Amino acid sequence: MKKKFWLKTGIGLFVALFIINTVAGFYFYDLAIERNVKDFLVGNSDLEVSAETMDVLLEGGWREWTAAQDFEQWELETHDGLTLQGYYLEADEPTDKTVIFAHGYLGRGTDMGLYGEYYHEELGYNIFTADMRGHGNSEGEYIGFGWHDRLDYLGWIDQAIEKLGDDADIVLHGVSMGAATMLMTSGEDLPDNVQAVVADSPYTSVYDLFDYQLERMFHLPDIPVLPSTGMVTKVRAGYTLKEASALEQVKKTEIPILYIHGKDDTFVPTAMAEELHANTNSESELVLFDDSSHGEAFVIHRERYVEELKEFLAKHID
């Protein structure tokens, strides 16, 4: 009798924990991956930047510059039937050099005008930027965190070469989620036209990032929450948190990479950029910036950022 009682109690407890864990998996999927309003980031101290940076991000002249440009609109049909929107701006003088941008989490293509203005006005590049799946004017009901986006960028790269010609020299430049996206892209079979990657504030993998944020924001361990979230993500978005790995992709890349990261970044820890750099198969450089939070280096250390960027591009772009 007592044995049956404990057996039923054990089964009941297991079922209850299974239900709770499943609910948690759906909750964190909806929280971070499904396309919706992300209120949980409001007031997040890890995303705080200096007043100087905030002024530039919100009211900097790059916004007026971006709005004033006559971008040509491109479209891409993805492997899974989505229509994505991209925006191309030709250089003032004919050039074979083109930079393709990838924006951060919850951003949109025009956000990369912060960097696009410099590439276009100072370096004389053609520039291309896109709304990633689940963002801006592009279709998609979930955020890919770079994994499915890497396939989208293969499409954008092919489209750029088709439009610009076989002599196009291409740089991939991403920030935060966009940086991880470009690293994931770099591990694929790329045309020789892609000659360099600039990864500003990237994470090693989606699992690693969620593990870090789960502890930091919710004081929870990764197990059992992330495995269940990964299963929900697999069913609803078609990828798992562990397979979405920039780290595994850079282990096989042949494209030179410039890593950039702020030493005070607590949203995506600096150690992730260091790990990526240490495991990169191709030639790579790591530049760390003092007193710089997440994605902040270009604004508060612009002179050094530009210097490092120019040296890297001069070394790797024909």
Residues 6+ apart with CB under 8 A from 170: 98, 99, 100, 157, 160, 161, 193, 194, 195
pLDDT > 50? residue 18: no
Query: pTM for this structure?
Result: 0.92
Number of domains forming the structure of the chain = 2
- 194 has a pLDDT exceeding 70: yes
Residues 122 and 200 in one domain: yes
Q: Could you tell me if 262 and 232 lie in one domain?
A: no
260 with 233, same domain?
no
Query: Are 101 and 201 within one domain?
Result: yes
Task: Give the model's pLDDT for residue 38.
Answer: 72
Report pLDDT for 57. 77
**Does 219 share its domain with 312?**
no
pLDDT classification of 17: cutoffs 50, 70, 90: very low
Average pLDDT of the segment spanning 178-191: 98
Residue span of the structural domain in which 24 resides? 1-32+210-239
Other C-beta atoms lying within 10 Å of the C-beta of residue 56: 20
Task: Decide if pLDDT at 14 tops 60.
Answer: no
pLDDT above 80 (res 52): no
CATH label of the domain that carries residue 156? 3.40.50.1820
**Does residue 1 sit within a domain?**
yes
Residue 119 sits in the same domain as residue 160: yes
- SS3 state at 184: helix
Confidence at residue 24, expressed as pLDDT on a 0 to 100 scale = 73
Q: Which of 20-24, 61-65, 192-196 has the lowest mean pLDDT?
A: 20-24
Q: Residues 18-45: what's their mean pLDDT? A: 75
pLDDT above 90 for 191: yes
- Tell whether 160 and 95 lie within a shared domain: yes
- If pLDDT is split at 50, 70 and 90, which confidence band does 40 have? low
Q: Report d(CA 204, CA 209) in Å as an integer.
A: 7
Give the pLDDT confidence of 205-229 residue by residue, as tens digits. Answer: 999 999 999 999 888 888 888 999 9
Whether residue 263 lies inside any domain: the answer is: yes
Stretch 135-141: mean pLDDT: 97
The reply to whether 167 and 74 lie within a common domain is yes
Tell me what pLDDT residue 37 has.
80
pLDDT at 285: 98
Q: Tell me the three state secondary structure of residue 264.
A: coil
